[in-house]
């Protein structure tokens, strides 16, 4: 060929350098315009890619406004969307990254998994992948691909979640007698806010107009619903298992220990009975140790 400065060799180096720059850019913040080129370079960088990308002004591209992170609920249909401009006679496919499984090709569903379905209206720019009954394991990266040479892809992250309930204090709560038991129950990822969130103490439903008095409940419903239970001036009888039960999500519990500071034996029993996690075991042991030391010290003092 006789090119002056190494010809094809330096062209390759420039391509490699471009690819490297795109890889670097990919780890930073993305401007919507660059999304397509970054996707290509981060996954399948090839030297010839620059030709198609810069060469043809009528090359197909992904609409940058297409969502890239979809959250769905277990068992509720979810759609991954791909909007392609300037497709011409190319084909759009959906691929699952986990196992490089081809799910759809054009308007056809390719996988044998009956839950997946290709959705496309004639002459529309939208090529959707619908999952009829998604499960947790369907979470992960999917890619919409255009059959250019080399193919270009648009990655979409699917996050499948299920209803979840938690109590702020964790599995155990230790409080001093006379102080306020303050428990917050949070319910997430339900198809609609729970119609009711019931609290029980042992097997008794907590009623804020019960004879006990000093009990209040504040419930807030929304994307994330919360119910706060306050029991004022805690006493021994208030100890035990508190359970928060939303009507449309699993329930969550916490065990409350009311410490009087005078009965280490009772506390020890309380600690041993309950199923403790590591942190609360340590806290429990420290409290017992403290109480025992205090008792021994008091006994010594009264002995002298």
Ligand X SMILES: *[C@@H]1O[C@H](CO)[C@@H](O)[C@H](O)[C@H]1NC(C)=O
The residues of the shown chain that bind ligand X, judged by CB under 6 A, are 69, 71, 89, 157, 159, 168, 180, 182, 184, 230
| Minimum distance from residue 208 beta carbon to ligand X (Å) | 14
Distance CA 227, CA 10 (A): 66
Distance CA 9, CA 6 (A): 6
| Minimum distance from residue 265 beta carbon to ligand X (Å) | 30
Q: Which is nearer to ligand X, 18 or 238 (CB)?
A: 238
Q: Which is nearer to ligand X, 84 or 267 (CB)?
A: 84
| Minimum distance from residue 88 beta carbon to ligand X (Å) | 6
Q: Which is nearer to ligand X, 110 or 292 (CB)?
A: 110
Q: Tokens at residue 205, please?
A: 């439903």
- Indicate the pairing of strand 152-161 with strand 69-73: parallel
8 Å CB contact between 70 and 118: no
Q: Which is nearer to ligand X, 182 or 248 (CB)?
A: 182
| Minimum distance from residue 147 beta carbon to ligand X (Å) | 6
| Minimum distance from residue 70 beta carbon to ligand X (Å) | 8
8 Å CB contact between 121 and 86: no
Distance CA 65, CA 136 (A): 26
| Residue 8, number of CB atoms within 10 A of its CB | 9
Q: Which is nearer to ligand X, 10 or 71 (CB)?
A: 71
């Amino acid at each position: 060929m006789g090119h002056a400065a190494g010809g094809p060799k330096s062209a390759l180096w420039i391509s490699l350098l471009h690819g490297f720059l795109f890889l670097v850019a990919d780890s930073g913040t993305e401007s919507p315009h660059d999304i397509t080129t970054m996707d290509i370079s981060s996954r399948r960088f090839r030297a010839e890619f620059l030709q198609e990308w810069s060469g043809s002004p009528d090359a197909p591209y992904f609409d940058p406004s297409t969502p890239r992170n979809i959250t769905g609920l277990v068992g509720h249909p979810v759609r991954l969307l791909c909007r392609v401009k300037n497709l011409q006679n190319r084909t759009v496919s959906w691929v699952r990254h986990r196992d490089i499984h081809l799910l759809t090709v054009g308007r056809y569903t390719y996988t044998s998994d009956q839950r997946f379905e290709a959705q496309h209206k004639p002459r529309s720019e939208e090529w959707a992948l619908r999952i009829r009954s998604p499960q947790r394991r369907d979470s992960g990266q999917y890619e919409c691909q255009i059959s250019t040479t080399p193919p270009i892809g648009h990655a979409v992250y699917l996050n499948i979640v299920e209803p979840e309930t938690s109590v702020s204090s964790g599995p155990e709560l230790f409080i001093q007698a006379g102080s306020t038991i303050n428990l917050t129950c949070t319910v997430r990822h339900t198809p609609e806010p729970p119609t009711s969130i019931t609290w029980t103490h042992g097997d008794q439903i907590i009623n804020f107009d019960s004879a006990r008095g000093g009990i209040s409940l504040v419930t807030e419903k929304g994307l994330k619903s919360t119910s706060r239970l306050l029991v004022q001036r805690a006493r021994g009888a208030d100890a035990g298992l508190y359970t928060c039960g939303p009507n449309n999500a699993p329930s969550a519990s916490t065990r409350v220990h009311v410490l009087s500071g005078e009965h280490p034996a009772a506390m020890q029993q309380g600690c041993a009975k309950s199923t403790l996690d590591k942190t609360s075991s340590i806290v429990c042991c420290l409290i017992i140790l403290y109480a025992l030391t205090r008792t021994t010290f008091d006994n010594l003092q009264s002995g002298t």
